[in-house]
Structure 1
Amino acid sequence: MNVQESFDKFIKDSKRVLKVSRKPDAKEYRELAKVVSIGVLIIGVIGFVIVLLGSLIGI
């Protein structure tokens, strides 16, 4: 598969994805925002604990 064929396949696949995708409704958007917020909070807490343990150990 050469570069032109790869590019054409990428364009074809991208068009197909855009055809089946849709804009989320308000309820779905709120649920997604909650999940993302919880994930960011968990990662922040884990990072804070690691930095706190590192400072207590003296690294």
Structure 2
Amino acid sequence: MQKLKSFIIECKRVLKVTKKPTGEEFKTIIKVSLLGALLFGAIGFTIFIIKELLI
């Protein structure tokens, strides 16, 4: 029971420290996430095409 209470107190402390991102920060996060997803997709697609051409 003490561990649960300690965990809840710790969560409340963390939530007090965090802040909501501004609109500009949010847009930057979205752009970077999309760029990363596109990059990984392109790498995967390239590997797939190379594999298909070799077999």
Q: What runs of 5+ residues in structure 2 fail to find an aligned partner? A: none
Task: Give the aligned partner of residue 21 of structure 1.
Answer: 18
**TM-score, scaled to structure 2:** 0.81
Question: Aligned residues, how many?
Answer: 55
Runs of 4+ in 1 over 3 A off after TM superposition: none
**TM-score, scaled to structure 1:** 0.77
Task: Give the aligned partner of residue 56 of structure 1.
Answer: 53
Task: Give the aligned partner of residue 32 of structure 1.
Answer: 29
Q: What runs of 5+ residues in structure 1 fail to find an aligned partner? A: none
How big is the alpha-carbon RMSD for the aligned residues of Structure 1 and Structure 2? Answer: 1.3
User: Aligned partners of 2:6 and 2:53: how far apart in 1?
Assistant: 54
% identical aligned pairs = 38
